[in-house]
Amino acid sequence: MIMAICNVLVVQSQTTDDMIEFKNELRSTEPKTQEPKNKCLLKMSFPPEVLHSLKVSGVDACDHISFVTSGHILVSDIKNLVLTNTNGDKLYRLKNLHARTDVFSIVYGIHTVNSKGEIFYINRDYDIKKISDYKETTTFKRSKNSYWNHCVYCSPSTGDLLVGVSNSGTGMVDRYSQTAHLTQTIKYDKRGGTLYVKPHFITENNNGDVVVSDRRAVVVTDRGGRHRFSFRRHPPGLKINPRGICTDSLSQILVCDVKSVKVLVIDKDGHFLRFLSLESLDICRPRSLSYDKNNDCLWVGSENNNKVCVCRYITPQKALTDSQNGPDGFALTTSLPI
């Protein structure tokens, strides 16, 4: 009788100095994204329901999470990038990504994945690399002469790669086509002032808004690059220090604030809604977020250990009559104190 054994391979890529480990297990892809849900059929419930938790091997902290499939995520600290399943198994690993540790050169939003399953990540030279089929590594874009790449995000709606770059306290967001052509640069507000200091993380809302976790604010522009708002304080007027960020099925913006050590919930127009209670998740310092919109699951990563929790706070409900719905179509049963 022959037994199949999944071996962990350690290989040296021909195009990068980053060390790669790969467990020959993952070959499935996620089904196509479902049709958008009717918002009036969704309701919010608090505290969040804990669905699962795991310890990720191969990282010291969960600084960034990228959702891959309902059973797989990419997790990174400042030096390691790991593909893991819901058991916390290390299926794929990139090591020695960054040697710098000072606050201005640390890269947080280091990776993203597109609909084809290709991984984009920033290496120790601030170049953006692309991994196809967990084997071939190519250079997608090299770092600019005076600007460093600090975060990447692949738009699920267009396939474009959004890149946050900065240097000496000035940042911008560049948009690249799938063929690595620069198609847009977002840098200035309506008055000509700079929008960003140092983009840490990028995500995209359901309406195409580009949502950036900057050094001292959540900065939101529309798809055309026009500044919509910057969120800098939460009640009672305290400044924020944002890190991990995502958007959910209701177009709400969720962001980890390392100053208050909480997850803030903001609506799509920049109004503070509430803090997301995480007591039931047993995560005392939330650092990273990713949202599975197919299953309405929020993935939360911890800063002080390698723990990730999966929870749900948006659930389906039966359709209500017009008299039971609010003027904007949202169910009146939704409890969301402002």
Quick check: is 98 in a domain?
A: yes
- pLDDT at site 312: 94
- pLDDT at site 246: 98
- Provide CB contacts within 8 A for 331, sequence distance 6+: 40, 42, 43, 317, 320, 324, 325
Quick check: is 33 in a domain?
A: no
Quick check: is 333 in a domain?
A: no
Quick check: is 1 in a domain?
A: no
Per-residue pLDDT of the chain (338 residues; tens, 9 = 90+): 333 323 333 333 444 556 666 555 544 444 444 444 554 578 888 789 999 999 999 999 999 999 998 889 999 998 899 999 999 999 999 998 875 656 566 788 999 999 999 999 999 888 999 999 888 899 999 887 677 888 999 999 999 999 999 987 889 999 999 999 999 999 999 999 999 999 999 999 999 999 999 999 999 999 999 999 999 999 888 999 999 999 999 999 999 999 999 999 999 999 999 999 888 788 889 999 999 999 999 999 998 888 999 999 998 875 444 444 433 333 323 333 32
Quick check: is 16 in a domain?
A: no
Quick check: is 235 in a domain?
A: yes
Domain count of the fold of the chain = 1
Q: Rounded CA gap, 17 and 310, in Å?
A: 33
- pLDDT at site 196: 96
Quick check: is 142 in a domain?
A: yes
pTM over 0.75: yes
Domain that residue 107 falls in:
40-321
Quick check: is 116 in a domain?
A: yes
CATH of the domain at 90: 2.120.10.30
Long-range residue pairs from 314-320, CB within 8 A, at least 24 positions apart, any chain: 314/42, 314/43, 314/44, 314/45, 314/248, 314/249, 314/250, 315/42, 315/43, 315/44, 315/45, 316/37, 316/41, 316/42, 316/43, 317/41, 317/42, 317/43, 318/41, 319/38, 319/40, 319/41, 320/40
| Residue 71 · residue 86 · CB < 8 Å | yes
- pLDDT at site 167: 86
